[in-house]
Copies of this chain bind each other. A is one copy, B any other.
Amino acid sequence: MAEATRVRVLTAIEELGFVRNEAARTLRKGSGRTLGVIVEDISNPYFTDLARGVEDASNAGGYDLIWCTSDGSPEKERRRLDFLEQQGVSGVVITPVALDRDRIARLRARDVRMALVDRRMPGTGACSVNVDHVQGGRLAMRHLIELGRHDVAFVTAEPESPPVRQRRGGALRALTRAGYAPEQVLTIAEEELTAEAGQHAARRLLEFGTLPTGIFCANDLLAIGLINELTRNGVKVPQDVAVVGYDDIAPAATCVVPLTTVCQPRHELGVTATELLLAGIDNQQVTLTPELVVRESAC
């Protein structure tokens, strides 16, 4: 194309404020230059960091991103998927709540590719990116054991969810390896993975009379709520109880007692999932590795 023409067109676009009609483009091409992401809980920084990774990688690949929240509800998840399907996205990154194989197949039939975070569904064609939570749980517990804190409680919620189960499994394995009986681990199960729930768990622990010497929380929000409530009640962290969290979200570092935690590569998780989506590969599985970050709550 002649440079002169190019410039002329570009000026005209600028002058008239022309904006391409994406609806028409999507209609014509079958699917557009947008991706979608559905996360479980927008108020947990873990998920916003993840979604930011998805956004960065989408933009880098020339795609726009539509953010959605399922709030952990299967019904909402379904509605958000309907929405993204209607919008003609070409792919979805999702932390699944109740996603089934049929739905993935239906989306595939409409050329909507899927990348799952923290859940494998082999044979569906969907890619997935996982963190080695067994390893993560092991890192956390091994650290507590090394500090001599083998009298341990596990504070958790959503105990059936695979990531949480794996974290617990890894922790128990570390105990066993060190020669301790995993049965002696006190498990406090709360309703949600939130700071409020952590606070509640602390109150339950305080009611028991004797505290364990170490506590492993299934995520950072639980740990932060727990530490705050313990501190309010005069319990010193880490002197009286050492606490280890999981995720390494930003507030973990600015908490009253900066949190020792297992760092998940949250941004990278989102980036990787998106790259898998855009690469157009099927059934690809990637596993990322967590890392222990030692701060004051257990050292």
Q: Which residues of A contact B (CB under 8 A)?
A: 17, 19-24, 26-27, 32, 34, 42-43, 45, 48, 51-52, 55, 64, 66-69, 82-83, 85-88, 106, 109-110, 195-196, 198-199, 224-225, 228-229, 231-232, 250-251, 253-257
Contacts and interface: CB of A to CB of B under 8 A. Distances in A.
Given A67-B67, A228-B256, A86 B42 contact: no
A28 B267 CA distance: 38
B68 A67 contact: yes
Nearest to A254: B195
A130 to B, nearest CB: 24
A106 B17 contact: yes
A88 B228 contact: no
Contacts of A231: 231, 256
Given A27-B27, A225-B254, A254-B225, A21 B88 contact: yes
Contacts of A45: 43
B32 A42 contact: no
B254 A86 contact: no
A29 B209 CA distance: 66
A71 to B, nearest CB: 9
A194 to B, nearest CB: 8
A48 to B, nearest CB: 5
A198 B250 CA distance: 14
Given A21-B27, A42-B48, A199 B256 contact: no
Contact of A64 (B69, B83, B109, B199): B83
A254 B22 contact: no
A128 to B, nearest CB: 24
A62 to B, nearest CB: 12
By CB atoms of chain B within 10 A, which of A51, A198, A228 has the most? Answer: A228
A26 B42 CA distance: 28
A87 B65 CA distance: 11
A137 to B, nearest CB: 25
Given A17-B106, A45-B43, A88 B22 contact: yes
A257 B256 CA distance: 10
Contact of A256 (B19, B32, B232): B232
A27 B19 contact: no
A232 B244 CA distance: 18
6 contacts: A19-B110, A34-B87, A43-B48, A67-B68, A195-B250, A256-B256
A21 B87 CA distance: 7
Nearest to A198: B254
B88 A23 contact: yes
Contacts of A228: 254-256
Contacts of A251: 195, 251
Contacts of A52: 42
